[in-house]
Structure 1
Amino acid sequence: MNTIQKMFLFALGISGIVILSSSGMLKPSVDGRYDKILHTVGQLLGQEHYNPQAFNDEFSEKIVSAYVKQLDPEKIIFLQSDIKELNKYNHAIDEEIKGNPVAFFYKANELYKSRLNEIKNSCASLLEKPFHFQAMDSIVTDFDKRAYAANTKAQLQQWQKKLKFITLEKLVDLQEDRDKIKSDTVKKASDEELEVQARAFAKTSMDKSLDRLLNKTTDDDRFSMFVTTITNTMDPHTDYFMPVEKRAWDERLSGKFYGIGAMIGEGNGYVKIASVTQGGPAWKTTEVNDGDLIMKIAEGDKPPVDVAGYDIPDAIKLIRGSKGSTVKLTLKKADGTVKTVAIVREELKLEETFAKSSIINEGDKKTGYIYLPKFYMPIGEGEGRSCAEDVANELKKLQHEKVDGVILDLRDNGGGSLYEVVKMVGLFIPDGPVVQVKNGDGRSTFLADQDNGATLYSGPLVVMVNEFSASASEIFAAAIQDYKRGIVIGSSSTYGKGTVQRPIPLSSSLDQNNLGTVHLTMQKYYRINGSSTQLKGVVSDILLPGYYEEYKFKEKDNPSALAWDEIRQLAYKPWNKQPDLEFVRQRFQKRDSSGVMKKIQENTSWLASQNEAADQLNIQKYKEKMQAVRAKAAQTRELMQLPKAMNISKTGESSSADQPEDATADVNSRWLNYLKKDRYLYEATMVLNDLLQSPGITSTTKPAPTQKN
């Protein structure tokens, strides 16, 4: 998996590659906890999953192959002999799931750690001599086409190519920085000196990576990834979470968390306090300062964890916790002194998670714009915010401003709460079904608008989507399309996730030995017209090509994804002022007569093809490729930006009570500046203006169906 694909998976919140290890030989858990987790997960999958696969030899082979691929995606850690050894378990995993003791997991990790230690001890010598980049050579980036090394000599050759490429990338960056220096008084480093620096960078990167793989994760982390491999083989969205991972998931969904009120950064191999939020828990202690290095983190009175070399996300997991609990930070101050500070966690909010609005003044029209990054919901007993309520409040603000129409932006919105999206659709229609849900036994039902015929907003509506709009975003866009309530504008299709997950704890709340949680796929959802969004997504009414649309990361590109199907259509009454879609399309095409959108589509397709190509190890070929890629990417980004900024202003006052006023103002200012040059938002605004002029907006529609649901 290449870098850009990893970025995709992170942006979507989908489980990507997690290579996990720890020092020391891993022994079978004395308390049998891993056995209990695996058996419980197996029972849950077999009995409750929407479309359970049989636990047999074929399923077992899939798990062995998938887990090895998770551990070693580049095929540079295991040898062919290791794969032969692990393949002995091809017909054993199914029996382990059914009740046999866990065995494959321990064997795989024993081999994995052994190979990592060998690599750590032998790879340093590969960086002792200078690399030469004149030979015509390349490195395979499609790892499915790469074979495992037959022996350690061949393995070192693979690592040499990897380290050579890292060095080449850094060398070219250093050369570019050097060539930017215009002063004649500054001595410029030679290519040979820069190559030394680049190799040193490659060594630091390798040492840090190997140290993390060997020392910075726990046995539970490794086992969590193994169980997730099993659940993801059922379907891509059935996930297993250890307790700390479940907490992070809830934080993302609710938009709130319990922490210390500080921005965390990195410096000199340590996690550090980048800035302390005024009024927050850390600020209240008077003992935490900007620039403090975090040496250790302890949960209450438990032994502290040394976090030297930790990545920021892993450190943040330790810093955050439950409401009112205490975290102790061992801090190294600027004067060299070390101090341990106890901080009581308080509720904080991720303001960037919540809905917000602005007003676009283009021509003689005033357009309301609402940005919703996630379908968030309260977690627990009514704690947290509801996205439907927040969007309703933003709509009221816009109505107070007497806007001519509304744009709802769901780009990059990966979904969230099913019930929140149903309530949100209800803000735009008087009544009727919103989405159908089908269980694994074939029984289906539907969720409907429950606001007694009320419609908060009845004006013209445009919904923006892209290839990252998934799940609940697709439910909303599909309902708007089916009711002919508005126009959907964006990528050729959305992500294509048409499944519903529910969190199932593996142990009771009274059980002190928390076994974790499974987010289990138990249902599929369908449009009210009967079609599933699974694999196919929602097809936009007006096409605006997405930057990453040609990359293979959608649901349809995952081999374990569930199939598309359809069920019966429900009776529903379309909107009484339907948009004239053909009129709007003609106006859009006439406006884009210069072919900007076509050029964007051509460019993004070319960039995607380059992402699949082999990486060059010849410096001249590498520079030529990178120059071409950068030029095409820069041209595409420029095409996506307007030459002249739109007139956009924030709606009302910020509702944030959790950040200093200047911090909130800075975030809003940067957000507005981005929107002002967003060509896609401009096109959505023009489409909305076309909609206002459309002769098709009338009170006449086809007769409503007479049958009942």
Structure 2
Amino acid sequence: MDTIINFMKRNYKILLAVVLLSVTLFAFNINSSKSVDSEKDKMLLELLTFVIEKGHYSPAVIDDTFSKGVYKDYIEALDPSKRFFLQSDIDEFSKYETELDNQLLNKNLTFFNLTYDRLMIRMEEGKKLYKDILSKPFDYTIDESFNTDYEKAPYAKNAGELKERWRKQIKLSTLSSLTDRQKIQENKEKGISDKGLVDKKSPSDARKPGEFIDDLRDSEKDKSDKSSDGKPKTFEELEKITRESSMKSLDEYFGFMKELTRDDWFSVYINSITSRFDPHTNYFPPEEKERFDVSISGKFEGIGARLQKKNDFTEITELISGGPAWRGKQLESGDVIMKVAQGSDEPLDIVGMRLDDVVKKIKGPKGSEVRLTVKKVDGSIKTISLIRDIVEIEETYAKSSIVERNGLKYGVIYLPKFYIDFENKDGRDAGKDIAIEVEALKKAGVNGIVLDVRDDGGGSLSTVVDIAGLFIEQGPIVQIKSAGRTKEVLYDRDKKIEWDGPLVIMVNNFSASASEILAAAIQDYRRGIIIGSKQTYGKGTVQNVIDLNQFIRSSSAGDLGALKTTTQKFYRINGGSTQLEGVSSDIVMPDRYAYLKMGERDVDNAMPWDKIDPSPYTIWTNNSKFDKAIEDSKKRIAENPQFKLIEENAKWIDERSKENLYSLKMDEFKKSQKAIEDTNKKFKPIADYDYHAKFSSLPQEAEAMLKDASLKEKRERWHESLSKDIYVEEALNVLDDLQSKPVSKKNVAEIKKQKLVKT
């Protein structure tokens, strides 16, 4: 949920100049190869601290309170489910709870080294624990329980207590999987499809980073529901299969953990420090920086294949439409990559190699050759040559659809993020793409537009100005304030209005940052109606990404990565900040997760809300139906049984999220799960809802779909989801209400009659 803005390049130079004036202390060489890692880590700590203090909008005081926050965040990140460290470890670590500020300032790595070394030991012990626990059947007749509220759980006092905790947690996950298997087998015997099985997971099962056994459901269900003699499997057989599957899941997890290097864990420590300044100040190791660049631009140079690690092997999971691998038609999902060669060089065996290292070898500059030796799905071995190219991730970009209803035509534009390519001014960016979509919808003769920024975590603020400018004549869009400097106002100075018709902006709890500025500007101008969750995420800060390598003369330290730090806050044109408060919807629709704590306001070290002077702007007046449309929508929502059901479901989900105690006795567990399933059946109409609207692509995309089966499938899935989305339906209802002429049954009949005559 980040905002990186184009105009910041001007302010970045000022920030950079300030930092460079005092950064000579970092411009040194690292000589001793033996101490490279230690010296690099110390240098990184010093450099990060310095840059944050000089460049952060409001740097925190590095004192004992700061130290306690770092300590808490770091220990929780290392062992969130309290399955590795003993209380004796914590007692030893806690001596440093108020010393980390001093260690940071003195570049002292004592605490990190201690915790890292101890974690490696405890993980090896944990590996032995789960193998021993899963080596024999569980007794599901014992009356015992397990509490999944790890935050309140104490650390184990000794190895015996720790093993007992592992046993209960693994038993809970195998019990859940086993009852699933039993239910599937019972249903198949009755001729009932298992597709109707209700997901028993509750929000309390939601996995936090590192909580690898909260929900150890089988990584792959056993495909055969019968024994070798053709009979249904016995309880003993199902129990054994479940344990084997859990063993495989844990083997894969520990295999992944084994691939993590000391640098990876040091990054966890560093981010425990940076996040105490605010939740969005983060350190990017080199690989993370590259992934961030891809996410903000939506493109990279490579072959266009998504990979995943399966034990020691690297498997292709998906080919990206339009990429070299997709165009070549020789690779397919399920192929396993065995070797990689650069051009005519000797192939390198990559079996057992870290996934990040495999990716580095396969990606490369446009025009270069890579040769992959793969084991095909059919078992054959092939060597495939590919020429790398620029790959665009289609899911990153804006897309639109058209729907006809009540004799009118509407356009829906979905914007997943405010993307931009900072390195190429002619590259794709959200502002230009939305302008293209709006123009295409106008040519198609739409009577209204829905712009959907639900789940849009932000991106480039300059694109917000461009997009908002499509809907207003001209004026301010957002105000920005840097520490100790006067505010700056970003304007739309183009008098042209691309779309002056009815407009609805859809938001939810996860619309953040740039999404919130767009919604706020449209709301302040009264240009369109904001519809969605009670309020958006509440991120009102601006981040700047600083490459740390520019401060180092020598390259012997390797790539130091980058720092994303909060340098500014942005404000609505009415003067209010979106920080913490977000943007309140004009029309609030019930939301299944409305009562769960998931916003910026729920983070303990978030920056505060404040207000500055408003910037003069002229409210849009061509909206006589504005207030009436809001009023009518609120009435519809209040009377709609589907929305009532969603509200009831939201309250139930909130209650379920607070339930953490699970019985490990099969009969009791089944009873509690049966109660959950029975309640869930009541809410099944939420998922089954369909208002039967027919969505279609614009002509140019429809033509592309004929040549691209993958794109066709993705668009058809999206169109189907739109036709089942009650929130989109209500947004379209609001567009009906905003029409200059009322949409009546008589009008609809007349329009249909005219169409028949023309035909």
Tell me, yes or no, if structure 1 residue 165 matches structure 2 residue 210.
no
- By how many angstroms is 1:379 displaced? 3.2
Contact 1:579-1:694 within 8 A present in 2 as well:
no
State how far apart, in whole Å, the 1-side matches of 2:367 and 2:118 are. Answer: 42
Task: Give the CA deviation at 1:441.
Answer: 2.2
Indicate the RMSD between aligned Cα atoms, in angstroms: 3.0
C-alpha distance in structure 2 between counterparts of 1:285 and 1:591, whole Å: 52
- Pair 1:199 & 2:227 matched: no
Q: 1:543 to 1:93 in 2, by over 3 A?
A: same
The structure-2 alpha-carbon separation of the partners of 1:603 and 1:222, relative to structure 1 and needing over 3 Å to count, comes to same
Residue identity opposite 2:92 in structure 1: E
Deviation (angstroms), 1:95: 2.9
The SS at the match of 1:240 is: strand
Q: Given the alignment, which residue of 234, 237, 242 partners 2:285? A: 242
Q: Distance in 2 between matches of 1:52 and 1:298?
A: 47
Deviation digits for residues 547-593 of structure 1 (CA, Å, limit 9, x no counterpart) = 32222221111111111111111211000223545422332244342
Q: Counterparts in 2 of 1:200-349, with a 5 A limit?
A: 200-213=244-257, 215-264=258-307, 270-274=313-317, 280-282=323-325, 288=331, 291-295=334-338, 306=350, 308=352, 319-324=362-367, 329-333=372-376, 343-349=386-392
User: For 1:114-125, what aligned pairs fall within 5 Å after superposition?
Assistant: 114-125=121-132
Question: What is the distance in 1 between the residues matched to 2:450 and 2:554?
Answer: 48
Residue 42 of structure 1 deviates from its aligned partner by 0.5
Counting matched residue pairs gives 669
Once the two structures are aligned, what percentage of the paired residues are identical? 38
- In structure 1, the partner of 2:648 is 602
Aligned partner of 1:619 in structure 2 is 666
Q: 2:593, 2:653 within 8 Å by CA — same for their partners in 1? A: no
Q: Report the 3-state secondary structure (helix = DSSP H, G, I; strand = E; otherwise coil) of the residue aligned with 2:559.
A: coil
Please state how far the C-alpha of 1:595 moved relative to its aligned partner.
3.4
Give the C-alpha shift of residue 602 in structure 1.
1.7
> Which of the residues 631, 647, 669 maps onto 1:586?
631
For each residue in 1:264-303, what CA deviation from the matched residue of structure 2 results, as whole angstroms up to 9, or x when unmatched? 4676773323465687434677875654312456788799
Change (3 A) 1:648 1:286: closer
1:374 equivalenced with 2:417 (yes/no): yes
Q: Aligned AA for 1:457?
A: W
Amino acid at match of 1:381: N
> Equivalent residue of 1:566, what SS?
coil
Structure 2: gaps of 5 or more residues: 4-33, 192-228, 743-759
The aligned residue for residue 394 of structure 1 is: 437
How far residue 444 of structure 1 moved from its aligned partner, in angstroms, is 1.7
CA distance in 1, matches of 2:683, 2:598: 20
2:712 corresponds to which residue?
665
- Match of 2:401, SS state, is strand
Aligned residues of 2:505 and 2:530 also touching (Cα < 8 A):
yes
Q: Supply the distance in 2 between the matched residues of 1:177 and 1:460 (Cα, whole angstroms).
A: 49
Q: In structure 2, how many angstroms separate the alpha carbons of the residues matched to 1:156 and 1:32?
A: 38
Residue 423 of structure 1 corresponds to which residue in structure 2?
466
Paired AA for residue 548 in structure 1: Y
Q: Secondary structure at the match of 1:181?
A: helix
Once the two structures are superposed, residues 169-200 of structure 1 have per-residue CA deviations (whole angstroms, 9 ceiling, x without a partner) of 11011111211223799411122221111111
**1:683 aligns to 2:730 (yes or no):** yes
Q: 1:353 aligns with which of 393, 396, 403?
A: 396
- State whether structure 2 residue 574 is matched by structure 1 residue 532: no
* Greater shift in the superposed pair: 589-598 or 217-226: 589-598
Q: In 2, are the aligned partners of 1:607 and 1:632 still within 8 Å (CA)?
A: no
Supply the distance in 2 between the matched residues of 1:389 and 1:202 (Cα, whole angstroms).
Answer: 49
- Greater shift, 424-433 or 509-518, is seen at 509-518
Q: Does 1:462 align with 2:508?
A: no
C-alpha distance after superposition, 1:121-150 (max 9, x if no partner): 233221223212234433222211011111
In 1, distance between residues paired with 2:363 and 2:149?
Answer: 38
Q: Post-superposition shift, 1:478?
A: 0.5
TM-score (norm 2): 0.82
- Is the Cα–Cα contact under 8 Å of residues 181 and 238 in structure 2 kept in the other structure? yes
Instruction: Rate the CA distance shift 1:202–1:659 in 2: closer, same or farther, 3 A.
Output: farther
Give the 3 Å change call, closer, same or farther, for CA 137–647 of structure 1 in structure 2: same
Answer yes or no: is the 8 Å Cα contact 1:351–1:656 preserved in 2.
Answer: no
- The 10-residue stretch of structure 1 (386-395 or 544-553) with the greater mean CA deviation from structure 2: 544-553
Aligned to 1:476: 518
Aligned residue identity for 2:647: Q
Which deviates more, 425-434 or 627-636?
Answer: 627-636
Give me the whole-angstrom Cα distance separating, in 2, the residues matched to 1:297 and 1:658: 32
Spell out, residue by residue over 1:138-172, the C-alpha distance to the aligned partner (whole angstroms, 9 max, x if none). Answer: 32222110111111111111101111011111101
Q: Give CA deviations for 1:50-100 in whole Å, capped at 9, x if unaligned.
A: 111112222122212211110100111111111122223224322333243
Per-residue deviation, 1:687? 0.9
- Structure 2 distance, partners of 1:286, 1:364, is 43
Q: Residue 604 of structure 1: SS of its match in structure 2?
A: helix
What is the DSSP-based 3-state SS (H/G/I as helix, E as strand, rest coil) of the residue aligned with 2:701? coil
In structure 1, how many angstroms separate the alpha carbons of the residues matched to 2:106 and 2:385? 44
Contact 1:370 1:406 in 2 (8 A): yes
| Alignment match, 2:542 | 500
SS, match of residue 696 in structure 2: strand
**Corresponding position: 1:490 with 2:532:** yes
Name the structure 1 match of 2:621: 576
Confirm or deny that 1:692 pairs with 2:744.
no
Say which SS state the counterpart of residue 379 (structure 1) adopts: coil
The superposition leaves residues 405-454 of structure 1 with CA deviations (integer Å, 9 ceiling, x where unpaired) of: 11111111111101111111111111111111111226322111132x11
Contact 1:506/1:517 (<8 A) preserved: yes
The whole-number CA distance in structure 1 between the counterparts of 2:603 and 2:472 is: 35
Q: Indicate the residue corresponding to 1:447 in structure 2.
A: 490
Aligned mate of 1:140, from 138, 142, 147? 147
Distance 1:95 1:286 in 2: 58
Residue-by-residue CA offset, 1:210-234 (whole Å, 9 max, x unaligned): 2222x21122211122111111111
Q: Is the 8 A contact 1:641 1:679 kept in 2?
A: no
- Give yes or no for contact 2:2–2:513 (8 Å, CA) kept in 1: no
Counterpart CA distance in 1 for 2:144 and 2:469 is 59
Which residue pairs with 2:565 in the alignment?
A: 520
Check 1:643–1:335 CA distance in 2 against 1; reply closer, same or farther (3 A cut).
Answer: closer
What's the CA shift for 1:633?
4.8
Could you tell me whether the CA contact under 8 Å between 1:545 and 1:600 is conserved in 2?
yes
SS where residue 233 of structure 2 aligns?
Answer: coil
Higher relative contact order (CA 8 A, sep 6+): 2
1:65 pairs, out of 72, 77, 85, with 72
Alpha carbons 2:592, 2:653 under 8 Å: kept = no
Tell me the distance in 2 between the aligned counterparts of 1:395 and 1:494: 24
Comparing 194-203 with 497-506, greater Cα deviation is found at 194-203
Deviation for aligned residue 1:250: 1.2
Contact 2:570 / 2:577 at 8 angstroms: preserved in 1?
yes
What amino acid does structure 2 have at the position aligned with 1:187? K
Task: Give the counterpart letter for 1:681 in structure 2.
Answer: V
| Contact residue 376 and residue 387 of structure 1 kept, 8 A | yes
Q: Distance in 2 between matches of 1:374 and 1:506?
A: 26
How do 1:430-441 and structure 2 match up within 5 A? 430-441=473-484
